[in-house]
Amino acid sequence: MSTVDSVSPDATSVPASWRAALSGVLETREARRLGGFLKAEEAAGKRIYPPQGSRLRALELTPLDAVKVVILGQDPYHGAGQAHGLAFSVPEGVRVPPSLVNIYKEIASDCGAPAPGHGNLERWARQGVLLLNNALTVEEGRAGSHQKVGWEALTDAAVAAVAARAEPTAFMLWGNHARKKAERVPGLTGGPHLVLTAPHPSPLSAHAGFFGCRHFSQANDFLEANGRGAIEW
C-alpha cells in the first residue's frame, strides 16, 4: 500500500527518504494554504488530477539518495486518466502525449533506443530519474490551474535537496519554466552537477533545439564518468 494517500502533503504522506529535506517546508503557512486549497477544490466537486494516492509518486519511486537525473515538468496532464504523478508520463494503455512522443524520438536518435509503445516512465523513475512537475496537481481541463497555490515551495525544496548532495547528478531543463525553477536553487551551477538546457519537447518548440540536444547520451556519459551508472532509456 502506498504511503502517499493524503489530499495534501504533510510529514506522514511524504516518502521517508525525503522527509528530512522537506519537513521545514511542510510546516510553513504556504503548505497549510495548499492543503486548504486542495480540500476546498475537492469539496466543491472539482476533478483534480492526479488522484489522491499518486500526487507524490515521483518522490515515492525515486528516493532522494537514489536520484541520478532530474527532469522537470510544469504541471500534470489535465485529461482524465492521464496524470499518475510523474512528469511527462502516462499509464500504460493511455495514448502517448505529443511531448513524450518527441522525447522518445530524441532518445532513438541520440541513443538508438526504440520507443517502448507506451508512455509509462516508471522504469526510468526506479532507475533514479526524478520526474518532477513544478505543481503536483491540476484541475480537469485547466492547464496551469494549480500553479502558484503552494506546490512550488515543496518542489523547489526537493530540487534544492538534490542539488545540495555531493553525488554528481544530471539536471535536464527543458523550456523556460524549468530553467526558471532551477534559477531559484542556490548552488546548482558551478557544483558537481551537469546542467543541460534545451527548448521544451512540445510540438511547438521541439524543432527549435530540443531535437538534437543529445541530453540523454550526455547524461549517461556524465553518470558513467562519475561512477554512478547509466540510465537505460
Catalytically annotated residues:
75
**CA dist 156 → 37, 104, 225 (Å):** 19, 27, 28
Return d(Cα 15, Cα 39) in angstroms, integer.
21
Q: How many angstroms from the chain centroid is the CA of residue 19? A: 17
CA atoms within 13 A on the CB side of 233: 25
Interatomic CA distance for residues 18 and 157, integer angstroms: 10
Give φ, ψ of 133 to 5 degrees: -85, 160
